Amino acid sequence: MLIGELAVQTGMTKDGIRFYEKVGLLTGRRLPNGYRDFPPEAVPWLHYVRTAQTLGFSLAEIARHGEELRDAPDTAEALSALLAEKIRLIDARMAELAALRADLDARVGTGCPLRAADPVS
């Protein structure tokens, strides 16, 4: 698959895809003419990358996790460990969100909690 089609199928720009390759999120095969050639699996992979990214994982983290997987002696086990680790991170983030939510919930109707901190009032 050439870069343009991958761009269409993932909703990314070509420049974005090239950037992702540059930072190691995608490894590049080249056709004899120098064009990049992506396997179809690149599509779900990029969707996964976008999802993980919007959830607060940096591209470097995502790339590093990919590499850890690639270099693991026992892939199935390494994969499980990595996913378990990600799940722990997600749980931690969810807990933080729950705490903020509870905090805001508690402030609703209790006067002027945020504004009190804003000296303009």
Partner DNA sequence: CTAAACAGTGGACTACGCTCCAAGGTCAAG
Partner DNA sequence: CTTGACCTTGGAGCGTAGTCCACTGTTTAG
Between the CA atoms of 84, 87, 92 and 94, what dihedral angle is there, to the nearest 10 degrees? -160
Closer of 22 and 107 to a second copy (Cβ): 107
Q: Least distance to a second copy from the beta carbon of 13, Å? A: 19
Q: With contact defined as beta carbons under 8 Å apart, do 43 and 10 qualify?
A: yes
Report how many helices (DSSP H) and strands (DSSP E) the chain contains, helices first: 5, 2
- Residue span binding a second copy (CB under 8 A) among the ranges 2-10, 11-19, 100-108: 100-108
Is residue 11 a contact point for a second copy (CB under 8 A)? no
CB atoms inside a 10 Å sphere around CB 116: 9
Footprint of DNA (CB under 7 A) = 2-5, 12-16, 18-20, 23, 31-36, 53, 58-60
57-76: contacts with a second copy (CB under 8 A): 65-66, 69-70, 75-76
Closer of 15 and 91 to a second copy (Cβ): 91
CB atoms inside a 10 Å sphere around CB 20: 20
